[in-house]
């Protein structure tokens, strides 16, 4: 199992970030963005730039695509089910599937459609990529944490590890990938919702006492919930992610704030919604996340 050709589903910030890296490292024909016909008609006329440099990417529609060696799923949570329904032509018996999406639920959805034998669990951390229309800017590329949750996934994991090493894509293989995913979820629940609701930047979330109190409160609720779910999140994880936030562009902001500025539906159900749903199972109070869910829905209703 060797990865030569990659298909990417989703042309958001992370899709473009990894598409550029793969294309530059592995050469023309190594990557293609795949989408439905209406999106192809729209995007084929777009002119993309990354950090100010023009970029051109191969694109095709699902019906014209064959199985890829690796499929990177980089959609928004709101578009995941539609993508999974349509991307079947990309998936052959040896196709490796990898999601760089936010949250802790995309792998479960992918496995329901395609099984989990060739599914590599993944979480993207440490990047500050921001997309504005067809322009992507970032100062930190971050890295991908990858892992397997069962022995049968080891061949797929090894194929991805070898591919990432070959193309120089920053990554780490995690012994406990579930814990790594919950740790990133901890960060997203805090910073994404805080920046959207308070209309602020990374620096504003960290340095404004009211904003930081709400962000910290939402993150502490995730730690308590993770422990009930059998995932060992600690205060050390909380402190480590605050340190990561300090390395990002202080004037940047995460995807939910970008969604709000563009009047797009956000992923609040993926963050606060997931926390609230799981907290009810354990009888946990999560007032900060309830506040964020309520406020984001009010904001979206006013678009």
State pLDDT tens for residues 218-235. 999 999 999 999 999 999
Indicate the class that CATH gives domain 6-175. alpha beta
Binned at pLDDT 50, 70 and 90, residue 76 comes out as: confident
Q: How far is CA 251 from CA 230, 248, 254, 268, in A?
A: 36, 9, 10, 22
**pLDDT tens column, 133-144:** 899 999 989 999
Predicted local distance difference test score (pLDDT) of residue 144: 97
Predicted local distance difference test score (pLDDT) of residue 156: 98
Q: Does position 77 have pLDDT exceeding 90, yes or no? A: no
Domain residue spans of the chain: 6-175, 178-301
Predicted local distance difference test score (pLDDT) of residue 175: 95
Most confident of 42-46, 255-259, 280-284: 280-284
Q: Average the pLDDT over each of 18-27, 29-38, 44-53, 126-135 and give the range with the smallest value.
A: 126-135
Q: Does position 189 have pLDDT exceeding 90, yes or no? A: yes
Q: Does position 1 have pLDDT exceeding 80, yes or no? A: no
Q: Does position 172 have pLDDT exceeding 80, yes or no? A: yes
Domains 6-175 and 178-301 share a fold: no
d(CA 152, CA 158): 11
pLDDT cut 70: percent of the chain above it:
100
CB 36 within 8 Å of CB 90 = no
Please state the rounded mean pLDDT for residues 63-77.
Answer: 95
Kindly report the pTM of this predicted structure: 0.89
Binned at pLDDT 50, 70 and 90, residue 18 comes out as: very high
Three-state secondary structure string covering the chain = CCCCCEEEECCCHHHHHHHHHHHHHHCCCCEEEEECHHHHHHHCCCCEEECCEEECCCEEEHHHCCCCCEEEECCCHHHHHHHHHHCHHHCCCCCEEEECCCCCCHHHHHHHHHCCCCEEEEEEEEECCEEECCEEECCCEEEEEEECCCHHHHHHHHHHHHHHHHHCCCEEECCCHHHHHHHHHHHHHHHHHHHHHCCCCHHHHHHCHHHHHHHHHHHHHHHHHHHHCCCCCCHHHHHHHHHHHHHCCCCCCCHHHHHHHCCCCCCCHHHHHHHHHHHHHHCCCCHHHHHHHHHHHHHHHCC
User: Rounded mean pLDDT of the chain?
Assistant: 95
Q: CB atoms < 10 A from the CB of 149, how many?
A: 16
Structural domain 178-301, CATH architecture: Orthogonal Bundle (1.10)
């Amino acid at each position: 199992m060797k990865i030569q050709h990659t298909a990417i589903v989703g042309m958001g910030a992370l899709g473009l970030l990894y598409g550029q890296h793969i294309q530059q490292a592995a050469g023309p024909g190594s990557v293609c963005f795949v989408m439905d016909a209406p999106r192809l008609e729209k995007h084929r006329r777009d002119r993309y730039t990354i950090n100010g440099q023009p970029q051109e990417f191969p694109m095709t529609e699902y019906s014209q695509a064959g199985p890829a060696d690796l499929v990177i799923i980089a959609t928004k949570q709101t578009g995941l089910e539609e993508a999974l329904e349509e991307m079947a032509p990309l998936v052959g018996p040896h196709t490796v599937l990898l999601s760089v999406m936010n949250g802790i639920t995309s792998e479960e959805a992918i496995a329901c459609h395609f099984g989990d034998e060739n599914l590599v669990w993944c979480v993207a951390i440490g990047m500050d990529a921001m997309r504005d229309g067809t322009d992507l800017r970032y100062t930190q590329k971050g890295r991908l944490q990858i892992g397997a949750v069962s022995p049968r996934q080891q061949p797929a994991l090894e194929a991805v590890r070898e591919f990432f090493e070959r193309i120089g894509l920053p990554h780490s293989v995690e012994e406990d990938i579930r814990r790594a995913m919950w740790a990133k979820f901890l960060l997203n629940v805090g910073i994404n919702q805080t920046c959207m609701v308070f209309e602020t930047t990374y620096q504003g979330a960290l340095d404004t006492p009211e904003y930081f109190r709400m962000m910290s409160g939402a993150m502490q609720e995730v730690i308590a919930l993770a422990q009930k779910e059998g995932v060992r999140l600690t205060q050390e994880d909380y402190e480590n992610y605050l340190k990561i936030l300090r390395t990002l562009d202080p004037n940047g902001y995460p995807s939910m704030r970008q969604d709000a500025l563009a009047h797009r539906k956000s992923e609040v159900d993926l963050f606060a919604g997931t926390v609230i749903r799981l907290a009810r199972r354990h009888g946990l109070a999560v007032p900060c996340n309830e506040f964020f869910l309520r406020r984001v829905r009010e904001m979206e209703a006013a678009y």
